[in-house]
């Protein structure tokens, strides 16, 4: 039997599966929060693991200008992420990833505007801001794809490393990075980079697909017929979470 409640005055309880809504949140929004909390634990575990491995290696004692890629030292971020598309040979440390971060934050702003327009039942504004959000997501993914390609390809000069083969030391030149070796430093550096940024990129891609679905349903009047745009708000929570996680990924990988 469904639960019943009594009210006094003009108060009207908001029903949630037969009862009062906890924290005035609908079932869908509450489930989205549960999912985001569980995803927070996953990203936290990955970043904590990265931090533990990162600080298990000694830091380079010299200046950044003197730094040379070596398996003995964890690489300095501004020496690894210094390339910008179409500006070949020019060292611009962290400029490109800064642009990526700005694009993703900008898409979060347009998502806020889409949610606000949904509250006003303004279909045209929802479509406009969702389109900008989708464009921002695709642009970020394109930038990340270029960064991965550059990271895998490596520098033209590569890095010379020494290793023992059949009891004797030999020198070899390593170009770029993969899951077994990389020219920038310890193999774990590339492993974490590929896994964590790839895991986040998968979330961004999933968010873009959801945003496209929201845009399509808005354009066809689905939410007008339903009488509310709550789904825009629920997907907006996911998109803001993806943006917030990137802030931590950016801090761990590119600034520390």
- The whole-number average pLDDT for the span 239-247 is 96
Q: What is the pLDDT confidence band of residue 31, given thresholds at 50, 70 and 90?
A: confident
Q: What average pLDDT does the chain have?
A: 85
**Of the candidate ranges 23-37, 84-98, 200-214, the one whose mean pLDDT is the lowest:** 23-37
Q: Which two tokens stand for residue 198?
A: 């790839």
**Of the candidate ranges 38-42, 66-70, 147-151, 219-223, the one whose mean pLDDT is the lowest:** 66-70
Angle at which helix 187-219 crosses helix 27-54, to 10 degrees, equals 160
Residue 41 CB partners (closer than 8 Å, separation 6+)? none
Return the pLDDT at 19.
57
Domains of the chain by start residue, with CATH: 28-55+97-140+186-255 (1.20.120.80)
Q: What count of other Cβ atoms lies within 10 Å of the Cβ of residue 158?
A: 14
Given a cut of 90, whether residue 185 has pLDDT beyond it is: no
pLDDT per position as a tens digit, 130-179 = 999 999 999 999 999 999 998 988 887 777 776 666 666 667 788 888 88
Longest dimension (CA), the chain: 88
Q: Which two tokens stand for residue 178?
A: 């993969």
- The whole-number average pLDDT for the span 211-231 is 92
Q: pTM of the full predicted structure?
A: 0.84
For residue 217, report the phi and psi dihedrals to the nearest 5 degrees.
Answer: -70, -35
Given a cut of 50, whether residue 4 has pLDDT beyond it is: no
Q: Which two tokens stand for residue 249?
A: 């990924």
Cα-only R_g, the chain: 24
Angle at which helix 123-153 crosses helix 187-219, to 10 degrees, equals 160
Q: Which two tokens stand for residue 77?
A: 């971020």
């Amino acid at each position: 039997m469904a639960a019943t409640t009594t009210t006094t005055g003009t108060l009207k309880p908001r029903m949630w599966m037969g009862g009062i809504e906890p924290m005035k949140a609908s079932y869908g929004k509450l489930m989205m929060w549960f999912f985001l909390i569980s995803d927070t634990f996953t990203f936290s575990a990955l970043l904590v693991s990265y931090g533990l491995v990162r600080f298990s290696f000694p830091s380079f004692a010299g200046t950044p200008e003197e730094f040379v890629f070596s398996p003995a030292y964890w690489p300095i971020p501004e020496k690894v992420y210094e390339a910008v598309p179409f500006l070949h040979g020019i060292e611009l440390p962290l400029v490109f990833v800064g642009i990526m971060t700005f694009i993703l934050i900008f898409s979060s702003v347009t998502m806020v505007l889409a949610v606000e327009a949904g509250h006003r039942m303004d279909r045209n504004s929802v479509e406009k801001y969702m389109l900008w959000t989708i464009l921002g997501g695709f642009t970020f993914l394109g930038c990340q794809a270029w960064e991965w390609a550059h990271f895998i390809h490596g520098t033209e000069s590569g890095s010379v490393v020494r290793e023992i083969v059949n009891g004797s030391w030999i020198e070899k030149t390593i170009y770029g990075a993969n899951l077994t070796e990389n020219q920038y430093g310890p193999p774990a550096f590339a492993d974490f980079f590929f896994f964590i940024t790839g895991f986040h990129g998968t979330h961004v891609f999933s968010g873009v697909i959801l945003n496209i679905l929201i845009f399509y349903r808005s354009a066809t009047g689905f939410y007008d017929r339903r009488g509310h745009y709550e789904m825009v708000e629920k997907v907006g929570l996911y998109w803001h979470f993806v943006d917030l996680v990137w802030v931590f990924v950016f801090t761990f990988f590119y600034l520390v």
